[in-house]
């Protein structure tokens, strides 16, 4: 199963979104990397790396950042890992998390999940 990492500036936000995804995909492997170790807002390199390790497996890992600065931290982690099975996808945070976890739980492979998430970039809500 593809693992999912929710990378956010806020630990509370990442945890709430993980809890939300558990409603629709209770068996999905979801880890959070939110906030700094001292409890302040920000995205921690160490926490992103630990979250990836938590859900890492042979099927790959998708990291979803909440905003641009968290994406920058994730890029640094991915560059250091140099693992093609660990990827970041640019898509809406909430909708992407729901889509990714539902598909991961259904055992959809990494590539098709990434394609589906990429298509969410132009998602309109009304």
The 10s digit of each residue's pLDDT in 57-103 is 999 999 999 998 999 999 999 999 999 999 999 999 999 999 999 99
CATH code that applies to domain 3-122: 3.40.50.510
Backbone angles phi, psi at 97, to 5 degrees: -65, -45
Distance CA 102, CA 21 (A): 8
Q: What is the pLDDT of residues 19-30, one digit of tens each?
A: 999 999 999 999
Band (pLDDT 50/70/90 cuts) for residue 126 is confident
pLDDT at 121 over 90: no
pLDDT at residue number 48? 98
pLDDT at residue number 58? 95
Domain ranges for the chain: 3-122
Helix (H) or strand (E) holding 95: helix 93-105
């Amino acid at each position: 199963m593809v693992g999912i990492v929710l990378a956010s500036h806020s630990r509370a936000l990442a945890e709430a979104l993980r809890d939300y995804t558990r409603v629709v995909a209770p068996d999905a492997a979801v880890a959070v990397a939110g906030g700094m170790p001292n409890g302040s807002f920000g995205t921690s390199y160490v926490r992103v790396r630990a979250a990836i390790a938590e859900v890492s497996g042979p099927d790959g890992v998708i990291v979803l950042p909440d905003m641009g600065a968290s994406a920058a931290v994730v890029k640094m982690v991915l560059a250091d890992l140099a693992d093609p099975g660990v990827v970041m996808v640019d898509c809406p945070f909430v909708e992407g998390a729901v889509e990714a976890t539902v598909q991961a739980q259904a055992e959809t492979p990494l590539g098709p999940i990434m394609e589906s998430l990429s298509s969410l970039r132009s998602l309109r809500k009304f």
